[in-house]
Amino acid sequence: MGKRSRWSLAVVLALMLALFTVACGESKDDEADSGSGSADAGTTDCGKVVLNEQAWAGSTANTYIAKAVLEDKLGCTVEITKLAEIPVFQAMADGKVDAVLEDWQHVDEYAKYIDKAGTVVQGGPLGVEGHIGWFIPKYLMDEHPEFKTWEGLKGKEDLFKTAESGDQGMFLGGDPSYVQKDKELIEALGLNFKHVTAGAEPAQVARWSQLYKQKEPVIFYWYTPQYLNQEYDLAEVKLPPRTEANKDCKDDAKEGGDPAQYKCEYDVTIINKLFSKKFAESGSPAYPVLKNMKLTNEDQEQVAKAIAGDKEDPEKAGQDWVDANSETVNSWLE
Amino acid sequence: MAVASGRIAAPAAFAPTSRWRGKPAQVGAIVGLWLVAYFLLKGQNLDWPASLTWEELPRKLDDAQDWLLEQRTADNPNPVFAVLEGFRSLCEWLVTAFIDIFEWLTWVGTIAASVLIVWRFGGWRAALIVFGAFVSFALMGLWEESIQTLGLMLAAVLLSLAVGIPIGVLAGRREGFHRAITPGLDAMQIVPAFAYLMPIVILFSVGPGAAVICTMIYAIPPAVRITALGIRGVTKDSVEAAQAFGSTPAQTLFKVQLPLARRQLLLSVNQTIMFALSLVVIAGLIGGKGLGDVVTNGLYSNAALAILAGIAIVIMAIALDRATSAIAERTDPTRQHLTDERRRRARRMTLLTFGLIAAIVVVARALGADALYPDEFETSTTVYTATIDDDLLGWIQDALDYVQDPASFIFGITEPVGNFLLQKFLEPLRLVLVETPWFFVLSGFTAIAFVLSGLRPAITTFLMLVVIGVIGVWAEAMDTASQVLVATALAVFFGILIGVWAAESPRVERVLRPLLDTLQTLPQLVYIIPFIYLMPVSRIPGVVASVLYAIPVVIRLVTAGVRGVSPTAVEAASAFGASRMQVLLKVKIPLARESIMLGVNQGIIMVLAVVVIGGLVGSGALGDMVARGLQRNEFGEGVVASIAILALGIALDRVTQGQRRVQPR
């Protein structure tokens, strides 16, 4: 290499270094500006709050409602992460996520992170109640009113026959990651259904919504609150009720064992808010507000429908709801 | 089993052996016996015996994860965690640094810097592609997400190369070391990322740092493999000549082997980028922000948006690929015979380029350009929308609506095809694999491996199948195997047809290239969504996904193989008056047999890599177990299923590898 080439190389390197230091220096300033909510213990300045949005429209709705309230009323900076349901527990333990507003009872993780390690704390119910069950399209229910209860299905299973269920009826199972016991229920109830897994929820929705559009019979695992319930007219098949006699009845087939012990309808799922312990003890003004936050199934479905159904901007949908429900919001701020 | 295998040497000479001719007959006989066993003994539930199963394994693995978690949350954690934390901060710092640089440059400066640098070192064609890529991120309204993904990728690729190239060099120089690490590399690529996501999160928490580490696990193997291939490809003569002149081993490495392996090293950069990008969606699950996030969340609430983000990932992959290969080509010292005058000019151009970039950045910042491309431009009177994502999303939604319409023309074709595949191929094959007593399946696969590949592969196949049985997932693994075999057969059939066609017609190859790139980098969940509507039968969308993912590799290997047939052989055949078709069928394809077999073999591995995606769209079996493993934290079960996928991969690889292990040294 000649002298000149070294010189030009040095200039290029120096230039890049200069750009780099300025860039980094500036970014440090940014961080100082925004600050971290969990670090500012004891101050009334809200700082940054990190909420995790779970991968479904309902969670998008309540997360953006919370964001609008915290930013609008408390002047917080809200950052939204989109971690998967299980890893988010570790994130809360590490103080990287402050709150999850819609957790569907991950009892195994509660035992590890809340009871044992104490790094995550319960934030009370969100007010939204999850309900899981067997659903069919309304048009089918009109045609076969006997499907109102599971007994009506007996002997009519072959109505639900498809290419893959052979001579049995097809029962379309839920997302494998959700709480379910349908295989066990089918066996315990003595129904001639083949349990077919469609895979993740978008795939399951694709399957039943298509049959719905064809006005074909279909029976599937489904739940509320879900924004699609506003788009499709569905009806529920009543499963054996929970009574005093079967109060030990289980819901999560993960526990294994005899199918008979699952022979009842799904219990109502209380949806919980969870907080990082660091956040709960930080003294952040956002904490009591999030702890007070309560929504109804209708609130949540309405906002979720605006976001997922009408493709509205989540920020706007959340803000609109907050503006229209100032009374509810004020009750959280007290 | 080289998942990312580079160049395939065409066999210089080839002698048809009677042994090969006998092979189809022998395999046929084995399959015949197998079928006899099936028809005689089906329905007797001769499943893998429980007494030969290690049932506590999943629980033990769960306990191991709990132990890890306890160690992590203990009051005085093990110092190892401090080291891991240091590594994570390094990764995170790197990602943030890249993103900060882009933001500091402003969006105008980012475009200017990337385009001008690529123009200077890679030529105007590549620069144009890079420019187009940035423009499309901007117009899609995904600028911020794209920049985040780009930062994540650059950090992951840089670190993967920093780890992978030295290991690759070592592996290239020492055969023993290479053989020792190969199983580890296989495992890193075949074990689905879903399975180790949770341990990664426990060890490294969440965020960009953890996402980079997760990506590195998948992206390091191609870097190691291709580098090793490159080093080994340096002819013995050059190395001996260097040694004869008294070079030390270090001199031989840095002055001879590395420079001569330059092309392979650059190919490894290129492949590392591609592999890293295919993990973007998974990285999104543990806090790697960017396009991956948009894809996963979009799938649940806005499929059109997920598809748009998927397209952005593809555009990024193509731009990075073209830019790196153009720079590699242009800066190849063996192609530049520079005079002093031209060298000076080149230096001036470089200085000019960087000066221009600096000027643009200064001006852009002075004029107050935003760090990120804005959604709208404001003038004193009006506000202009700066993106066209509403239109794009509308079009994608229209396409989706069409696909979802069961009365559509296309559905009338795809649905029966799907049902036919299921009823005539998948289900019968699954029954044969699941219902034939396990010892016939075990000996059948082993015997086929012996006939096709030899004794050692047969032993490996046997052992791997035994592992599957012992860990207690025999039935699931056989179900998955039936899907893998059908998918591979389809991928190989169409792959060979298209590959030969592309080899014969450069125009076809040119049209295919972007298409194949798209298939390799578009997140599978994105292109599989339409098939869930079009072929609404549980296992079929998964099979389609695997075929589409595997076919690019098969096509590329077949094309390279047929192209690589020595021209003398072709000329000789033509001289004897063979028609083009005859040359193709009698000379080119037989001579390219090695590459075609390699295509079959790689096809199987690629198909297996998509098994988990199959689980997410209803394929059940092993993929389902792995997907559940993360989402319901059944870690033990997820790991067991992953081990089975790996074992199945190795077994099927050995069955089909043929005699190619014999390498000229």
pLDDT tens by residue, A246-257: 878 888 877 777
pLDDT band at residue A294 using 50, 70 and 90 as cut-offs:
very high
What is the percent of chain A where pLDDT is above 90?
A: 36
What is the least distance, in Å, from the CA of B204 to any CA of chain A? 10
pLDDT of the residue at A27: 43
DSSP type of residue B358: H
Distance CA B173, CA B175 (A): 6
B417 to chain A, any CB pair closer than 8 A? The answer is no
Residues of chain A contacting B392 with CB distance shorter than 8 Å = none
By mean pLDDT, which of A50-59, A111-120, B390-399 is the weakest? B390-399
C-alpha distances in Å from residue A202, one per residue of A72, A167, A174, A282, B241: 33, 27, 10, 38, 62
Predicted pLDDT of residue A29 = 42
- Cα–Cα distance, B94 to B104 (Å, whole number): 15
Nearest CA among B277, B256, B268, B278 for reference residue B325? B268
β-pairing, A219-224 vs A269-276, is unpaired
Cα–Cα dist A110/A130, whole Å = 18
pLDDT digits (tens, 9 = 90+) for A295-321: 998 889 889 988 888 888 889 999 999
The more confident residue out of B252 and B93 is B93
Contact B646, B187 (CB under 8 A): yes
Smallest CA–CA distance, residue A334 to chain B, in Å, is 33
pLDDT at A164 over 80: no
Nearest CA to B428 out of B47, B35, B37 is that of B35
Look at residue B151 and tell me whether its pLDDT is greater than 70.
yes
B522-550 pLDDT, tens digit per residue, is 777 777 777 877 877 778 888 888 898 88
Q: Are B451 and B659 in contact (CB under 8 A)?
A: no
> Whole-angstrom Cα distance, residue B364 to residue A175?
49
| Contact at CB, A254 and B287, closer than 8 angstroms | no
- Closest Cα to residue B270, out of B381, B380, B126, B377? B126
So what's the pLDDT on residue B5?
41
pLDDT band of A12, cuts 50, 70, 90: low
- The neighbouring-strand residues paired with A33 are none
Beta carbons of B562 and B592 less than 8 angstroms apart = yes
Encoded tokens for B274 = 């591609």
CB contact under 8 A, A11 and B299: no
Query: B207–A20: do the CB atoms touch at under 8 Å?
Result: no
Strand duo A219-224 + A120-137: pairing: antiparallel
Residue B584 has pLDDT above 90, yes or no: no
| pLDDT beyond 70 at A31 | no
Region class of A83: left (phi > 0), else alpha (psi between -120 and 50), else beta: beta
Whether the per-residue pLDDT at A146 is higher than 70: the answer is yes
Contacts of B432 (CB under 8 A, 6+ apart): B34, B35, B38, B482
| Mean pLDDT value of segment A212-235 | 89
pTM: 0.82
Name the residue in chain B with its Cα closest to that of A28. Answer: B100
**Residue B586 forms contact with A (CB below 8 Å):** no
- Say yes or no for a CB contact (<8 Å) between A20 and B303: no
Collapsing DSSP to helix, strand or coil, A56 comes out as: coil
On average, the pLDDT of chain B sits at 82
Is the minimum CB–CB distance between B420 and chain A shorter than 8 Å? no
Cβ pairs bridging A and B (under 8 Å): 189
Highest mean pLDDT among A183-192, B353-362, B381-390, B586-595: A183-192
3 state SS for A222-246:
EEECCHHHHCCCEEEEECCCCCCCC
Inter-chain residue contact A15 with B358, CB threshold 8 Å? yes
* CA-based nearest residue in chain B for residue A119: B73
Task: Indicate whether A11 pLDDT > 70.
Answer: no
> Which range, of A122-131, B241-250, B469-478, averages the lowest pLDDT?
B241-250
| CA B377 from centre of chain | 39
E strands present in B223-339: none
Interface of B with A in 198-217 (CB under 8 A): 198, 201-202, 205-207
| pLDDT computed for residue A192 by the predictor | 92
Please state, as a whole number, how many other Cβ atoms lie within 10 Å of the Cβ of residue B65. Answer: 17
* Residue B528 C-beta-side C-alpha neighbours within 13 Å: 35
| B628 three-class SS | helix
Q: How far is CA B118 from the centre of its chain?
A: 25
* Segment B156-180, tens digit of pLDDT: 999 999 999 899 888 888 888 988 8
Token pair in block for residue B126: 């590549």
Q: Which of A316, A289, A296 is nearest to A225 (CA)?
A: A296
Cβ atoms of A271 and A225 within 8 Å: the answer is no
And the tokens for B512? 């295919």
**CA B191 – CA B218 distance, rounded (Å):** 9
Cα separation, A328 vs A295, in Å, equals 9
**pLDDT at position B587 over 90:** no
Chain B contact for A197 (CB, 8 A cutoff): yes
> pLDDT-based confidence at B336, cuts 50/70/90?
low
Distance CA A27, CA B97 (A): 8
Give tens-digit pLDDT for B430-461: 888 888 888 888 888 898 888 888 888 899 89
Q: Among A174, A225, A166, which Cα is nearest to A202's? A: A174
Return the pLDDT at A37: 40
How many percent of chain B have pLDDT more than 90?
A: 9
Q: Which of A252, A216, A204, A97 is nearest to B536 (CA)?
A: A204
Q: Worst-scoring range by mean pLDDT, A168-177, B9-18, B601-610?
A: B9-18
Above 80 in pLDDT, residue B473? yes
Out of B406, B529, B624, name the one closest to residue A202 (CB): B529
C-alpha span between A31 and A129 (Å, rounded): 38
- Mutation for testing the B interface, residue in A210, A211, A214, A305 having most B CBs under 10 Å: A210
**Whether the Cβ atoms of residue B289 and residue B165 lie closer than 8 Å to each other:** no
Mean pLDDT value across chain A: 83
The residues with which A172 forms a beta bridge, in sequence order, are A196, A220
Q: Pairing mode, if any, of strands A219-224 and A169-173?
A: parallel
Q: Could you say which of B97, B287, B628 has the minimum Cβ distance to residue A177?
A: B628
- Report which residue type is found at B458: A
* CA A314, A317, A321, A324 torsion-angle sign: positive
Chain B residues within an 8 Å CB radius of A87 = 197-198, 201, 206, 285-287
Q: Stretch B17-36: mean pLDDT, rounded?
A: 74
- DSSP conformation class of B662: -
Lowest mean pLDDT among A18-22, A93-97, A158-162, B480-484: A18-22
Rounded Cα distance, B464 and B466, in Å: 5
DSSP for residue B583: I
CA A269/CA A223 separation, integer angstroms:
10
For residue B318, pLDDT beyond 80 = yes
Do the chains contact at B538 and A93, CB–CB below 8 Å?
no
User: Nearest-CA neighbor of A273 among A230, A332, A330?
Assistant: A332
**CB < 8 Å from A in window 533-562 of B:** 533, 536-539, 541
pLDDT at A274 over 90: yes
Q: Show residues of chain B in contact with A51, CB under 8 Å.
A: none
Q: Identify the pLDDT of residue A44.
A: 55
Asked if residue A235 lies in contact with residue A136, where contact means CB atoms within 8 angstroms, the answer is: yes
Angle between helices B208-233 and B193-204 (to 10 degrees): 120
Question: Residues 128 to 187 of A: which have CB under 8 A from any B CB?
Answer: 162-164, 176-177
How big is chain B, counted in residues? 665
Q: Is the pLDDT assigned to residue A20 strictly greater than 60? A: no
Distance CA A88, CA A80 (A): 12
Smallest CA–CA separation between A162 and chain B, in Å?
A: 9
**B13 vs B251, residue with greater confidence:** B251
Phi, psi values for residue A238, rounded to 5°:
-75, 130
| CA B3 to each of CA A274, B92, B224: distance values in angstroms, whole numbers, following the listed order | 43, 29, 11
DSSP state string for B417-440: HHHHHIIIIIHHHHHHHHHS-HHH
Burial class (CB in 10 A: 0-12, 13-18, 19+), A122: middle
Half-sphere exposure of B124 (CA within 13 A, CB side): 0
Is residue A258 very low, low, confident or very high in pLDDT (cuts 50, 70, 90)?
Answer: confident
Look at residue B646 in the predicted model and tell me its pLDDT.
Answer: 87
Closest among B659, B625, B658, B507 to B192, alpha carbons compared: B625
Residue A216: CB atoms within 10 A of its CB come to 16
Q: What is the pLDDT of residue B7?
A: 40
Query: Which burial class, exposed, middle or buried, applies to A67 when counting CB atoms under 10 A from its CB (0-12, 13-18, 19+)?
Result: buried
> How close is the nearest chain B Cα to the Cα of A169, in Å?
14
What pLDDT is stored for residue A36 in this prediction? 42
Q: Is the peptide bond before A225 cis (omega within 30 degrees of 0)?
A: yes
User: A217-221, B13-17, B389-393, B574-578 — which one is most confidently predicted on average?
Assistant: A217-221
Interstrand relation of A269-276 and A120-137 (parallel, antiparallel or unpaired): antiparallel
